[in-house]
Amino acid sequence: MKKDIEEKVIKLLENGETLQSSIYRVLDVSKSRVSEVLKHLEERNIIRRERIGKNYVVSLNSYVKESGNLLKIGIIRSSEYGYIIPLRKIIKDKGYELEVRVYESGVEVMKDLVMGKLDFGISPAISQIFFAYAGFPVKIIAPAGSGGGYLFSTATDRKPRTLSSKLSTMEMILRTAVNSSLIRDPSYVDYFNDPMKALKEFSNEKADAITVWEPFATILRSEGKKETFSYSEIEHYCCTLSAHSSLKESVVETFRKYFFESINIYEKNRSGFAFPYSALLGLPYGLVERTLKHYRYYHDVDISILERQLSYAGISVPSPSVLRSIMSGS
């Protein structure tokens, strides 16, 4: 049993460092057992642990950071970005190190991107359009995924109290559902930063509706909740990839190339990357693996699709040419 856990830990760490707290969640093993296994591996000089704040970052001893070539990217805790695992390996093979930071919301990703704490960010297209149009130093360079967003609601005679995330695809889902008369205009919307807390609130009937993404939607289904609307019914872009404007164009173009290369690799074997990706997210492997199928990927942005998507949500832009310039980063 102990040997099996050791082998799984080593396999997980072959994809890069991770938090100790993520390991026991992914392996579904007790904290004490994981701590015991890690201590044994550390004594044999197979791994190393570095305390950062209240957490331990665990890595294989063969895993060496190249701080001079460090790139930082932010993603949301979502099933959408499994391709980040092959991307990290490709970047490493090219002489760079890719540090991946996981956030609870797209707005938080964009805040750190515009402040220069990140080099790249993946977040909802609507948040990146907003920040770019407002003149912040970001440029949208690629589509990053589509699908995996849903509205769940319960029958009520009153205007529903709804839970959603701010300036996100989830908010666009809510707007689209209201405009399509799939749900009544909410009495008010509570914007959440922690999806797990929001799920608990909805499950405890303290809210009448919620817009949520995978893998959190699957958790609601497992509780017997029924979705009212799937955003997959509408052709759309969920998230996009942005770069900080200070980056050299050569670095941005090289990263963009490897980004698409990693998506192509990921598409051939999504489930093969589920284990290390679930560790990165700090979510159970089985849950993440089941939900990877809900997303699809594009290599170009069709402005007409994006215009219709915004229109369905009742959001207008000054002109198609402005939208096109935002999406091209020019």
Q: Report, as an integer, the average pLDDT of 57-73.
A: 68
Q: Inform me whether the pLDDT recorded for 330 exceeds 60.
A: no
Topology match between the domains 2-60 and 66-330: no
Q: Is 179 strand, coil or helix?
A: helix
**pLDDT tens digits for 92-142?**
888 888 999 999 999 999 999 998 889 999 999 999 998 988 889 999 999
Q: Report, as an integer, the average pLDDT of 66-74.
A: 75
More confident residue, 28 or 287: 287
Q: Inform me whether the pLDDT recorded for 52 exceeds 80.
A: no
Give pLDDT, residue 112: 93
Q: Inform me whether the pLDDT recorded for 5 exceeds 60.
A: yes
In 10 A of CB 131, how many CB atoms? 25
pLDDT bracket for residue 316 (50, 70, 90): confident
pLDDT bracket for residue 274 (50, 70, 90): very high
Give pLDDT, residue 143: 94
Strands 70-76, 120-124: pairing kind:
parallel
Q: Report, as an integer, the average pLDDT of 9-38.
A: 81
Q: Report, as an integer, the average pLDDT of 30-47.
A: 84
Give pLDDT, residue 81: 97
Looking at the domain that runs over 2-60, which CATH code has it been given?
Answer: 1.10.10.10
Q: Report, as an integer, the average pLDDT of 192-209.
A: 93
Q: Inform me whether the pLDDT recorded for 61 exceeds 90.
A: no
Q: Report, as an integer, the average pLDDT of 45-70.
A: 68
Q: Report, as an integer, the average pLDDT of 194-207.
A: 93
Q: Report, as an integer, the average pLDDT of 304-329.
A: 77
pLDDT bracket for residue 63 (50, 70, 90): very low
**pLDDT tens digits for 138-189?**
999 999 999 999 999 998 888 899 999 999 999 999 999 999 899 988 888 9
Q: Report, as an integer, the average pLDDT of 265-289.
A: 94
pLDDT bracket for residue 263 (50, 70, 90): very high
Decide if domain 66-330 falls under CATH 3.40.190.10.
yes
* Highest-pLDDT range among 174-183, 242-251, 266-275: 266-275
**CB of 81 closer than 8 Å to CB of 144:** yes
Q: How far apart are CA 188 and CA 214, in angstroms?
A: 24
**pLDDT tens digits for 234-245?**
889 999 999 998
User: Who contacts 195 (Cβ-Cβ below 8 Å, separation ≥6)?
Assistant: 77, 104, 165, 212, 213, 216
Q: Is 161 strand, coil or helix?
A: strand
Tell me the whole-structure pTM to 2 decimals: 0.79
Proportion of the chain above pLDDT 90, given as a percent: 54
Handedness of CA 214, 215, 219, 224 (dihedral sign): positive
Phi, psi of 139 (to 5 degrees): -135, 135
Q: Inform me whether the pLDDT recorded for 327 exceeds 90.
A: no
User: Who contacts 241 (Cβ-Cβ below 8 Å, separation ≥6)?
Assistant: 120, 121, 122, 140, 141, 142, 143, 144, 256, 259
Q: Inform me whether the pLDDT recorded for 320 exceeds 90.
A: no
Instruction: Show me where the domains of the chain are located.
Output: 2-60, 66-330
Look at the block and give the residue holding tokens 């499994």.
82
